[in-house]
Structure 1
Amino acid sequence: MGRISVVAGAFLWGTLALFVKKLSSFGFSEMEIVAIRVTGACLCLIPFVFSVYGIGGLRWRMRHIWYFIGTGLFSIVFFNWAYFTAMNIMSISLAVMLLYTGPAFVAILSALFLKEKMTWRKALAILMTVTGSAVIAISGNGTTGQLSALGLIIGLGSGFGYALYSIFSKLASKHYDSMTITFYTFLISALCLLPFFPFWKKAAALPLEAWLFMAGLGLFPTVIAYLLYTYGLMQVETSTASILATIEPIAALMIAVLLFHEQLYGGQLAGTVLILSSIFVISYEKKQRDRLAA
């Protein structure tokens, strides 16, 4: 059941493109869509958190607010903006693969700031990720044969922002559990974005379909996906979960090809294989380390 939960949660993350593309068609900007996602997630989490922890159950100290600013603004807000922007200026398939450079960024940042050892497997995974990204860039985007430098930078920025969550949440986990970190991550993100991106004003003139997609964005690829993945982590090893979670980019690629009729070219496929393989290399190292520690 744990493995099924991890796969289901990761698959729901992979459906994110459906909601982003649809909301973009209704006229929402990337930052407005980010605001919709974090606000929807926060509203969905409130009743769940209160039912589990009770009123006042999620206590935090003011001096630790920088943890949640890091997970919220520096990671969730930034990587979502970069990811959504990359989807709209390039393609879903390229955007999702550049997002999955995240594990390589995690390895680098962990060595720099968490003093984790840079092993040969991590170095190999980083090299594979860099090579895969370069191959994607060289192979081009669509029939033009060119991938803009801006698109590449923003796409890689999504991977960097994605990685920052692991760093800040690792620091925060010394003091708080995962639910506390997640709740305040979305709460601070929503409170900071809403004054500048009042998406509800634009939404007021839109049909019910737009509101359903707004609600779906906060619920399915966000809250439900997180809860399923977290439940699965309680029953399977982290390394196993990280491998199973590669269903996310596969699901996103399937959606891009089947629903949005995107084409993947030889170079893009080669780069995709290299980036996904780098995740398996890092996950294999974690699995070996877990066995030695057992």
Structure 2
Amino acid sequence: MNNAAMLKMTLSMAIFGSIGFFTVKTGIPAIELVFVRCICATLFLGALWLITGQHKTEKWGRREVGQTLLCGIFLVFNWVFLFKAFEVTSITVAITIYNLAPIFVLLLGTLFLKERMTWTSLIAVLVCFLGSVLIVGINTTQSFSEFMGSGFLWAFLAALCYAMTMLLGKGVNQLSAYAMTFLQTSVGIVILLPFLQFHVFEGLTTENWVYILGTGLIHTGFVYYLFFDSLRKLTAVVISALVFVDPVVAILLDTLILDFRPTLVQALGIFMIFGGIIYTLIESSKRDSTGSH
């Protein structure tokens, strides 16, 4: 096993786990924050793309470019919805629901890619669903409009968009990781520009700007560099395991620094969701290793 690649992947996931903490400290709304991320990532990764010389060896296939651009649209909406969730609910609740993405990949793969779902996978999906119900709270008597504006819905949509990003990204094999990300974040700049409210950047403190630029340069540029640099040197099983460093760091920061305290029912829901997801990832990696679908 490539220890350097494992270290880079672990570090990238640990840094990304702090994004919720950074987001609530930026003082700007989701759309404007994602726009800054897109600019930083485009400049940072675009520069690396040129420096490494990979731009000279790119194979630009029309289908792959179109697929990457579509993937970019879902990636940008994934970021916007996740940051919206951080605005209105705790980081722990948002991150836990957001990590349902692998379950959505399984469901969408069954629906559209005709992949077979086993009974145990179905049970894991049901466990995750029940866990999400417990996190939201069964006894909450909120109206439909209140629920629509809740962090649960935003995190749910973010997970769905992330699942679409993963599924669409599967078929892109010729383009380098730098080219893919450059195209996707460029799409984000174009999509979000008409919706920007520039007045939100007025009156921000130095601390706000530190967190804004940190989110753009560290969480997007540096983390994506570490992630992509290690991705192709690790097995799917190791990647699936290391991905859980992200939510663990997020929940620890939320609990230790932002003083989030889940109820007993919410804690049970969190364990159910992560238990179901871990089981699903282990089972799917076993299926992949035996060559079955």
The TM-score, its normalising length taken from structure 1, stands at 0.86
**Aligned equivalent of 2:157:** 157
Q: Separation in 1 of the partners of 2:202 and 2:61?
A: 37
Q: Separation in 1 of the partners of 2:182 and 2:46?
A: 8
Q: Separation in 2 of the partners of 1:240 and 1:114?
A: 25
**Aligned equivalent of 1:16:** 19
Cα distance, 1:270 vs. partner? Answer: 0.8
Cα distance, 1:227 vs. partner? Answer: 2.5
**Aligned equivalent of 1:285:** 283
More deviation, 228-237/153-162: 228-237
2:169 is the alignment partner of 1:169: yes
Q: 1:234 and 1:259, CA in 2 relative to 1: closer, same or farther beyond 3 A?
A: same
Percent pairwise identity = 25
Cα distance, 1:68 vs. partner? Answer: 2.7
Aligned with 2:181: secondary structure? Answer: helix
Q: Separation in 2 of the partners of 1:265 and 1:204?
A: 38
Paired residues of 1:138 and 1:146 also in contact (CA < 8 A): no
The amino acid that maps onto 1:211 is W
**Aligned equivalent of 1:7:** 10
Paired residues of 1:14 and 1:221 also in contact (CA < 8 A): no
Aligned with 1:118: secondary structure? Answer: coil
Q: Separation in 1 of the partners of 2:65 and 2:226?
A: 27
Q: 1:179 and 1:285, CA in 2 relative to 1: closer, same or farther beyond 3 A?
A: farther
**Aligned equivalent of 2:252:** 254
Paired residues of 2:130 and 2:269 also in contact (CA < 8 A): yes
Paired residues of 1:128 and 1:275 also in contact (CA < 8 A): yes
Structure 1: any 5+ residue segments left out of the alignment?
none
Paired residues of 2:71 and 2:164 also in contact (CA < 8 A): yes
The amino acid that maps onto 1:119 is T
2:94 is the alignment partner of 1:95: yes
2:137 is the alignment partner of 1:126: no
Cα distance, 1:63 vs. partner? Answer: 5.1
Q: Separation in 1 of the partners of 2:15 and 2:9?
A: 10
Q: Separation in 2 of the partners of 1:276 and 1:102?
A: 11
Aligned with 1:236: secondary structure? Answer: coil
Q: 1:157 and 1:210, CA in 2 relative to 1: closer, same or farther beyond 3 A?
A: same
Cα RMSD, aligned residues only? 2.5
Q: 1:239 and 1:146, CA in 2 relative to 1: closer, same or farther beyond 3 A?
A: farther
Cα distance, 1:194 vs. partner? Answer: 2.6
Q: Separation in 2 of the partners of 1:146 and 1:14?
A: 30
The TM-score, its normalising length taken from structure 2, stands at 0.87
Paired residues of 2:19 and 2:215 also in contact (CA < 8 A): yes
2:80 is the alignment partner of 1:81: yes
2:208 is the alignment partner of 1:210: yes
Paired residues of 1:86 and 1:155 also in contact (CA < 8 A): yes
Q: 1:121 and 1:10, CA in 2 relative to 1: closer, same or farther beyond 3 A?
A: farther
Cα distance, 1:156 vs. partner? Answer: 1.1
Paired residues of 1:133 and 1:271 also in contact (CA < 8 A): yes
Aligned length: 284
**Aligned equivalent of 1:50:** 50
The amino acid that maps onto 2:178 is M
Structure 2: any 5+ residue segments left out of the alignment?
none
Paired residues of 2:69 and 2:187 also in contact (CA < 8 A): yes
Cα distance, 1:115 vs. partner? Answer: 2.6
Q: 1:60 and 1:204, CA in 2 relative to 1: closer, same or farther beyond 3 A?
A: farther
In the TM superposition, what whole-angstrom CA distance separates every residue of 1:10-66 from its partner, at most 9, and x where no partner exists? Answer: 11111101221111x2xx221111111122111111110111235554453455444
Cα distance, 1:177 vs. partner? Answer: 3.6
